[in-house]
Structure 1
Amino acid sequence: MASSKISLKGKSKSTKGSKDRSTTKALKEWSTWGLKKAKVITHYGFIPLVIIIGMNSEPKPQLYQLLSPV
């Protein structure tokens, strides 16, 4: 009877280990996907964000004043 308990524990550990590996792989894939999307959003959203913040500051500049290099 003791040997059957040991074999059941052994099976459950190996199944759990494979679940942990698949969960880890899925987490890694999702984090990579999320970071790629965040990079794109940051790349294309930074300048519009700066313009919006600049338009809402005091004193209120005109759009051409925000975009001009001087």
Structure 2
Amino acid sequence: MASKVSLKAGRGKSVKKSAAADEDGSTVAVAARFVKEWSTWTMKKAKVITHYGFIPLVILIGMNSEPKPSLSQLLSPV
């Protein structure tokens, strides 16, 4: 007995909208897409800033504390 294999086109989420739903929700969809793209862009930039800015921030805070260490004392492991 041969099994029948069916291939479905579009295995992901497919959204079908009617013309009336497209007219009513177009501004909401555009605004939601804009917020999603903006938040993704912001999080990518925040990740880069955090990655490259953490050690300089620690050095800056360490140099402004009491007693004032020199940069060599701040960077030495001992």
Whether TM exceeds 0.5 here: the answer is yes
1:10-49 aligned within 5 A: 14-49=22-57
Question: Per residue, is there more helix in 1 or in 2?
Answer: 1
Q: Which runs of 4+ in 1 moved over 2 A?
A: 11-16
- Normalised TM-score (structure 1): 0.76
Share of identical aligned residues, percent?
Answer: 67
* Cα distance in 2 between the residues matched to 1:39 and 1:30: 14
Q: Which moved more, 1:36-45 or 1:13-22?
A: 13-22
Structure 2 unpaired stretches of 5+: 1-18
Q: Which structure has more RCO (C-alpha within 8 Å, separation ≥ 6)?
A: 1
Secondary structure class of the residue paired with 1:40? helix
* Cα distance in 2 between the residues matched to 1:49 and 1:22: 38
Structure 1 unpaired stretches of 5+: 1-10
